[in-house]
Every structure is written in structure tokens, then in C-alpha cells.
Chains A and B, each alone.
Chain A
Amino acid sequence: MMLRAAYRIAWKDVMGDFRRRSTLSAMLFFAISVLVVFQAAFNPDRREAMQLLPGLLWVTILFTSLVGLGRVFQAEEEDGAFEGLMLAPLGRGVIFLGKWLGNLVLTVAVEVLLLPLMLILFNVDGWSSLPAVFGVLLLGTLGLTGLGVLLAALTQAARSRETLLALLLLPLVVPLLIAGVQATAALLSGQGELTAWVRLMVVFDMIYLALAPWAFGWLVEE
């Protein structure tokens, strides 16, 4: 019942976005332009590209997620529907879960498109480890969007909201970024520590997915 409600909220957000094709395409083309800028700045050869790929992948995802997170509460904020959502006979945690799920679907959709695109554009032969890299990416995205949606809720009424969101989110996701890059590098090169970093990501995810719905409840309480 509760999960169903969260699912309806997520569905509303995702469908609304697909119909307007706004956030998803904005995120995707933002990600692609980051790749272009990176290529222009570093012009890596194949070997360098292989080494740079894990870091580039995660930095691109991080910046791209900021584009999506900036809009999580935008529709509600613009037509004053946030109060309506809060009046729904649901726990605050459920509402948070719904908003988080919607953002997660969009972010994962971008990642599904971005990862193969990166291998093609940078001429990197990582196709055999693609599913595993995607698994690590998904694991990181759970925590990233969990924390991100909470911070989006914190900053939704703020002036220069998107800059503030980046300022708050980027330092906090440093552990996730380190673990994600290290795990991806281990998968692509076939050497290095993998399980320890995956474990760190799981811990990060669990902490934030447990904390965020509570914190959201504290935040919006009238």
C-alpha cells in the first residue's frame, strides 16, 4: 500500500518527464557535452583513455545528476503543488521514497545510454566488463540519488538553488566517488581491490537510504 503510493509518485514524475522530454534529454546532452569538453581538454590516446575512464565516468555522472536533482521538486515548486503533495495522507518517508524513485529511474536511464557511448567515443575496449561496471554504477547511484534528493528538498526554496545544491552535495559524496572510481578501475583493469570498495558503497547507500526519509520528515514538518 505504502510502496504503491511511492510508486505512483515516481510514476507521475517519470511519465511527466517523458511526455515533456525535459529532464532526461537535458541530463543526457549535458553528459555528452561533458565528454566533448573532456576530450577537447585532455585529448587522451587509447591507453590514457583506459586509465582516465573510471574517473571520467563518475565525474560525468556526478555532474549530470546535479542537473536532474535541480529539477526534482521544480514542478511542485512552480505551481505550488508541494503543499498538495504534503497534504496527501501518506507518511513523509513514503513521499520521499516516491520522489527518490522517480529521480533514480531518470538517472539510471541516462547511465544506461552513457556507459556504452563512452566506450565508443573514447575507443576503450571494456565491453566484457560492461555489466559489472554497470552494477557498480547502479550501486553508487542508489546512494547518490538518495542523498541528492534530500539535499534537493533542503535547497528547493533557496536562492541560487542549483549552485547551492552542488556546493552541498559534492563534498558529501567524496566517499562514494572514491569507492566508485576504485571499483570501476578494478573491474576494467582486472586488478586491484574490488570487494572492499563495493562494501563501502553498500554501507554508504544503507546509511543514506535509511537516514534520508527520516531527515525529509523532519525537514517538511509544519
Chain B
Amino acid sequence: MDRLARFQRWTGWLTLLLLGVALTLVVNAPADFQQSNSVRILFVHVPSAKMSLLMYVAVTVCSIWVLVRRSETADILAAAAAPVGAAFAAVTLATGSIWGKPMWGTWWAWDARLTSMLVLLIIYVGLMALRSALDDPQKSARATAVMAIVGAVDLPIIHFSVTWWRTLHQPPSIAGPGAGKIHIAGPLLTPLIAMAIAFIALGAYMWFVNARLIRASRRLEQLDTEHEEHG
């Protein structure tokens, strides 16, 4: 009967299994000949970056579904996906900074990808703020869905314009990403792919847990108002 709970249980076990395998691979991976052990943070960084974008795709799909079908389930799923995506974006920025300090010599550079990721995080936060600032649940659902779609249209333009701006301006002077074509050696690539797959399961698990929480709290609110009405 309860599909969400089943999804949650399944993805939970799957995450545990996949993370176990992936982390074993990460621990056994050789250290990079230039970056030594700092390279290991990329096993968290890269999958997080992918997941922060993937969660936005999920938000957008659910938002279209909200507008077309007025589905409450889609609204719950959209509401649940945003904080998960924001968390992944924040982890991406944090791990990128930690990696950047020893590798680039700076915590932060206004590189194209860093800037777009930061904007993505702000858009996630904006979505969450908009949702909580509207009292009428119907209005809140529609407004947030429209905003999510506007953001989905804007994100490629932002990424494109920031990249263009940087390349028109000057080529990356520090050894930033894109400065040289980067090849990842096989022994590092396998754990990276394993981590990416594990993170997909992790993201889905977090999404479903959050969706169940939101659904439960909405039901509770509903029961509360019904209880008051009946005295």
C-alpha cells in the first residue's frame, strides 16, 4: 500500500551495500602521484556535484507534474527533493574548497563551475524559502513549481554565461579545472564510478525519507484542523 515506505527501505539497503563496496574501493585506491591522498576527497566531491544537479532535474520534473496534474504527491516529492539537492550542493562547495586549498592554493576562485554551483545552492535555498513563506498550500505548491521551472531554464544560461565570461576575459591563470585536459587513471576511475552509483542510491534514499516526513507532517496538520473542527 505505501509505496514511499517501500522505496525508502529498498534504497536504504541498496545505499548501504553500494556505499560499502564503493568505500572499500576508495580506501584501496592508490594515492595520486601528484595530489597524494588529497585526491580522495574527489570521490565525495564529484558524485555530490552530479547529485546536486540530478536532484534539480527531479525537482523540475515533479514541478511540471504539479502544474499539469495538480498532484499532491508530486508536490511532496518536489518539496522533499530541494533540501537534499541543497545539501549535495553545499557538500560539493565545501569539499571543493578543502581540496582547492592545497591544490590551487586558495579556498575559493570565481571559476565558472564554482560560481554556477554557488548560484545553484542559492536557487535551492530560494525555493525552500518561497515554499515556507506562503501559507496557502495550493498557492505554495504552484508558486514553488513555477519558480523551479524558471530556475531550470536559467541554470544553463547562467552556466553558459559565466563560462563565456571567464573565457572571453582571460584563460584560467591558476591551474583551474579546464586548464589542461584531465585524464583519470583507471585505478582512480573505478572507485569514482562506484561512488557515483552509491550516491545516486543515497540521494534517492534521502529524498524518500524526506518525502515521508513531509507527508506525515501534512497529515498531522490535517488531523489537527479536523480535530479542532469537531470540537
Binding site for B on A (CB under 8 A): 147, 150-151, 154-155, 157-161, 164, 167-168, 170-172, 174-175, 178-179, 182, 193, 196, 200, 203-204, 207, 211, 215, 218-219, 221
Contacts and interface: CB of A to CB of B under 8 A. Distances in A.
A211 B150 contact: yes
Contacts of A150: 146, 150
A29 to B, nearest CB: 28
A185 to B, nearest CB: 11
Interface stretch (B25-33, B41-49, B154-162, B193-201): B154-162
A114 B29 CA distance: 60
Contacts of A178: 161-162, 165
Nearest to A207: B153
Interface residues of B, number: 32
Given A167-B125, A204-B157, A154 B165 contact: no
Given A167-B129, A174-B119, A182 B165 contact: yes
B123 A171 contact: yes
Interface of A is mostly: helix
Contact of A171 (B126, B133, B145, B160): B126
B150 A200 contact: no
B142 A218 contact: yes
15 contacts: A150-B146, A154-B143, A154-B146, A155-B133, A158-B143, A164-B130, A168-B130, A171-B122, A171-B126, A172-B154, A174-B115, A174-B119, A178-B161, A179-B161, A196-B164
B151 interface: yes
B67 A172 contact: no
B4 interface: no
Contacts of A182: 165, 168
Nearest to B119: A171
Interface in B86-128: 115, 119, 122-123, 125-126
Contact of B134 (A157, A203, A207): A157
A168 B153 CA distance: 14
A200 B147 contact: no
